[in-house]
Amino acid sequence: MKNNYIICNLDNNQIQDIKLIEDELKINILPKNSILEDLENEYFSYFVLKDKINKNIVGYIATSHVYDTMDIISIVIKKDYQRLGLASYLLNYIINFAKEKNISNILLEVRKSNIPAQRLYKKFNFKKINERKNYYKAPIEDALIYKLEINNINFNSNRKWSKINSLP
């Protein structure tokens, strides 16, 4: 299953594709001009997940990183591709990427109502560290802040972190 997908850097020509995925899911994480600016900034990384067969983008992950801390800005999977382990695939990729960049901590915010995402983060040993009241707009909702301390995970640079083996 995971062999049918490839992860690569987002380029300017693919921004509209990820915005279409957000539209399908009725979310708007970042405006196009912000993404364009981020792609010129060495402290931001955007990766797309592509179906090898039809070459379509089926998801993406966006991060920012400064010094030893990375923030996951968004992780999004197209509706028809959800529940296939692809968010795990992207998350595993970014954890390995962070480790290679000597990142010690990964932080993220998630809507309090987004239970599937919370389960995913807990599966990867993220710990809830705080809560932000009324953080999200439309609708207004609290955010839960999760943190992963990378130095506390079992990582072997000769292979991917063991969570990748749990993919379908």
Q: Is 121 among the residues known to form the active site?
A: yes
Task: Kindly list the distances between the CA atom of residue 7 and the CA atoms of 58, 61, 127, 149, 152, in Å, as whole numbers in the listed order.
Answer: 10, 10, 26, 23, 25
Q: Which residues 6+ apart lie within 8 Å of 127 measured at CB?
A: 146, 147, 148
Annotated catalytic residue within 5, 60, 109, 146: 109
Structural contact between residues 99 and 150, judged by C-beta atoms closer than 8 angstroms: yes
Q: Is 109 among the residues known to form the active site?
A: yes
CB atoms within 10 A of CB 60: 26
Q: Catalytic amino acids?
A: 109, 121
